[in-house]
Structure 1
Amino acid sequence: MSSLFTINCCKSFGCHNLGLARSPDYTWPDYRLGYAALHCRACGSNPPLFNDAEFRIWASAGLSDYAKESGHFCPACYQKEIIRYGHNPGGTQRVQCLHCKKVWTPRQQLTPIDPPEQLATIPLIVPFQGASADQQLYVLLSFDAIRGNVLHISSNFTPHPAGDSLLYRWHGMGESADIHNDIIQRVNQRETEFLRRSQFDEIQYGSAALKRNASGAVLRPVIAAHSHFRVLKTRFPEVAEHIVAHECFLRGAVITAWADLFRHRRGALWFVEEDIKDTACSTPWQLLGKTHQGWWQNQWQLWGQSDNRKMVCLLTKAPLEKGATVTLAASHRFITWLKEQPEFTHSALFSAGRVTKILASLARKYNALLSLTS
């Protein structure tokens, strides 16, 4: 299986099997945690098993469709070496892949951007009109953490056929919606919620039932996350620093997508939880303390900046003092802007597919505005 679609593998930083689809150290299925898992004897980890055939079929269709739409890479071989190749009869730019020679016409205007030094990703729950009121999509948004532009938006709605094992099923009991005022307790609350799940990546975020006879499907958020980061990995294979909101399966999806980078210890991956009261504050961040949290007893740093607080957790290897520069500020700015857009505030009136397209359109609008002010 191509490493681009590897999903059943060791996901432990520091293990020589990280990201490898095959290893003599693997045994599966292993049920010691109560669900089917892969057991890596080299590091003792037990990542949940997925139906890799169903994932590959679905993910390859989604990746190809994204490439046809955007023109960022080839929809056939996924290579990035592309040249302009004349125009179609309607005057629209065609492109050709230099590897497999495929020619196609992207549906969007080609807009090259500089690759990011830091990639920041957050989830967002967005209402949509479905089988009943209060249906919700699990949306992932990724940003250039330094420049601030949106690099990719995706949701767990898919227009492509998806195997049964990939689908999201709401069991009627979600995780706590209450956010603790104390940031340290908030981190601890999230870690406790992870442990309450049937497996670490099996999030229950709310009902997401489509209208009867509606086309498409709603995916498990962990499946959508793996696909989301495959797109970004194909576009930006060398990005070495990743900042993600505190959600355990986002870590697994990032470290799997960029496994070669992390296996050779050339990448840094951070969890971040922030409590920002003064966005204009420019005083230096000060390290206020450290604590260990969760199943893995990861070390978290508490940083302060006037009334602002943030907790950062280094999940790989990097200088700990870099925690002062790690932030999700780009996402905060976009979300503030997004909540002012009528199309977004009325999302509960639109289908899941329409909401996904609206979000992508708003991201392009935001990036265009950002380029005018930079």
Structure 2
Amino acid sequence: MTSLFTINCCKSFGCKNLGLASSPDYSWPEYRLGYAALHCRVCGSYPPLFNEEQFRSWLSEYLTDFAAKSGHFCPRCYQRETIRYGHNPQGSQRLQCRSCKKVWTPKQQPLATIVPPEQIATVPLIVPFQGACTEQKLYVLFSFDAIRGNVLHISSNFTPHLVGDSLRYRWRDNVEPEVIHDDIVERVRQRETLFLRRSQFDEIQYGSAMLKRSANGAVLRPVITAHGHFRILSHLWPEVKTHIISHECFLRGATITAWAESFRNRHASLWFIDEEINDNKCTLPWQLRGKTDQGWWQNQWQILEQGSNRKMVCLLTEGHVEKGISITLAAGRNFLDWLRQQTEFQCSARYSAHSVFQAIRALTGKYNALIDKR
């Protein structure tokens, strides 16, 4: 359970301390970059420090709530080995944990069975909701089976659980400019420049997210949402070897921490991707058109073309760069195109953050049912 709750650790691929909660090579707090950070003397990195006690408290509630609803693991000890344990008086299936013997009835009935994914692709989406005033913004993360196309897990930075002040999103009235440049290479470069302008790499300012004064719950920093999101996924499927994420630096940190053991042992690969798809039906093969180094870390990106379509992919870890041709966010694109056509989603600005997220959750279930019928 320790690794599940680890957040203050080295997040550098190739470092022997990647994902380790403690190391004699660590020193903290360090303020060289202008914020409290952990310093790893092996690789020289300075990952931001989080309030570990507040993170653990929130994450335990988040995991317990997810487990109690889904039945995918025990809501008490988080172990995945369970057995069917008869039915309650209403006829719903009960489960028992093989480890701690807890018995509970998952709220989602019948219990869903999800085929283990080979690749997980993750994209964010900003969704309007009705809060203290109109057009407040909710940060939502969607993860997909990159091959089959179904939604694996969704999270938002609205949480009904108690959170410490350090985990809350603070709007400073300085939203980052939207990167919409026509040239994909310039778009990647501008996004990297935006990362450097932040007070710290993971401190995104995406817009106001004030809840109604009478509303319960809180709005989390998106980086905290990401860490919780990927902990669920890695706990369910620790063996996944390929991870594809939209170009956002704190998604990299959250992913590599959640599957730290796999990355530390060089058993998994992590990819950034940016796509410009103008023809979804194009069947031409992708062609490599060049490479470019971008960002603080000078990561190498491949530039690929397929007719009028373009994409850029960046291997952030060890792996086979030639596989960049097959790396795609098609599962996310297809779902988001479908989602934007749904009336419930189009009306999100009228409803509370909690109601919006519940509506999106219901729509993902509907979408997955459509995928299963294909």
Q: What is the TM-score normalised by the length of structure 1?
A: 0.99
1:363 is aligned to: 364
1:93-132 alignment to 2 at 5 Å? 93-108=93-108, 109-132=110-133
Cα distance in 2, alignment partners of residues 243 and 285 from structure 1: 18
Matched, 1:208 2:209: yes
Alignment match, 1:327: 328
- Paired position in structure 2 for 1:143: 144
Pairing of 1:159-178 with structure 2 (within 5 A): 159-178=160-179
Match of 2:36 in 1: 36
Moved over 3 A (4+): none
Helix, strand or coil: the match of 2:21? coil
Following superposition, the deviation at residue 178 of structure 1 comes to 4.3
Distance 1:82 1:277 in 2: 46
Q: Which amino acid aligns with 1:136?
A: K
CA distance in 1, matches of 2:76, 2:281: 46
The alpha-carbon distance between structure 1 residues 231 and 307, as it changes in their structure 2 partners (threshold 3 A), is same
**Other-structure match for 1:308:** 309
How many angstroms does 1:84 deviate by?
1.1
Q: Determine if contact 2:129/2:351 at 8 Å carries over to the other structure.
A: yes
Q: Supply the distance in 2 between the matched residues of 1:43 and 1:304 (Cα, whole angstroms).
A: 35
Inter-partner Cα distance in structure 1 for 2:198 and 2:206? 11
Q: How many Å apart are 1:98 and its aligned residue?
A: 1.1
Which residue of 2 is the match for residue 347 of structure 1? 348
- Partner residue, 1:273: 274
Paired position in structure 2 for 1:47:
47
What is the CA–CA distance in structure 1 between the aligned matches of 2:188 and 2:128, rounded to whole Å? 25
- Local SS of the residue matching 2:226: helix
Aligned to 1:143, what secondary structure does the other structure show? strand
How many pairs does the alignment contain? 373
DSSP-derived class of the 1:148 partner: coil
1:246 alignment partner in structure 2: 247
**Counterpart Cα distance in 2 of 1:311 and 1:228:** 25
Which residue in 2 is equivalent to 1:71?
71
* Matching of residue 317 in structure 1 with residue 318 in structure 2: yes
Query: Counterpart of 2:233?
Result: 232
How far apart are 1:61 and its partner, in Å?
Answer: 0.4
**Does the 8 Å contact 2:136/2:208 carry over to 1?**
yes
> Over residues 176-202 of structure 1, what are the superposed CA-to-partner deviations in whole Å (9 max), with x where a residue is unaligned?
124000000000010000000000000
Residue aligned with 1:74, SS: coil
Q: Distance in 2 between matches of 1:77 and 1:308?
A: 47
- Mapping 1:251-262, distance limit 5 Å: 251-262=252-263
Q: Tell me, in whole angstroms, the C-alpha distance in 2 between the residues paired with 1:256 and 1:113.
A: 23
Residue 95 of structure 1 aligns to a residue whose secondary structure is strand
What are structure 1's unaligned runs of at least 5 residues? none
**Secondary structure at the residue paired with 1:300?**
strand
Deviation at 1:78, TM superposition (A): 1.1
Give unpaired runs (5+ residues) of structure 2. none
What letter corresponds to residue 126 of structure 1 in structure 2? V
Task: State the shift of 1:123 in Å.
Answer: 0.4
Distance 1:101 1:78 in 2: 12
Q: CA deviation at 1:213?
A: 2.4
**Mapped contact 2:179–2:191 kept (Cα < 8 A):** no
Displacement of 1:242 in angstroms is 0.2
Aligned residues of 2:179 and 2:187 also touching (Cα < 8 A):
no
Q: Which residue of 1 aligns with 2:6?
A: 6
- Deviation of the 1:308 alpha carbon: 0.4
SS in 2 for 1:289: strand
| Amino acid across the alignment from 1:96 | Q
Cα deviation, 1:26-66, whole Å, max 9, x if unaligned, reads: 00000000000000000000000000000000011011100
Look up the match of 1:158. 159
Which moves more between the two structures, 348-357 or 322-331?
A: 348-357
The one-letter amino acid of 1:251's match is: R
Give CA deviations for 1:52-83 in whole Å, capped at 9, x if unaligned: 00000001101110000111111111111111
Q: Does the 8 Å contact 2:173/2:208 carry over to 1?
A: yes
In the TM superposition, what is the alpha-carbon distance from 1:368 to its structure 2 partner?
A: 0.5
Using the alignment, how far apart are the partners of 1:231 and 1:349 within structure 2? 30
Provide the rounded CA distance (Å) in 1 between the counterparts of 2:281 and 2:100: 49
Distance between the aligned counterparts of 1:100 and 1:354, measured in 2? 34
The one-letter code matched in structure 1 to 2:300 is Q
Amino acid at match of 2:338: W
1:91 aligned residue: 91
Q: Measure the CA separation in 2 of the matches of 1:178 and 1:317.
A: 28
Q: Secondary structure at the match of 1:332?
A: helix
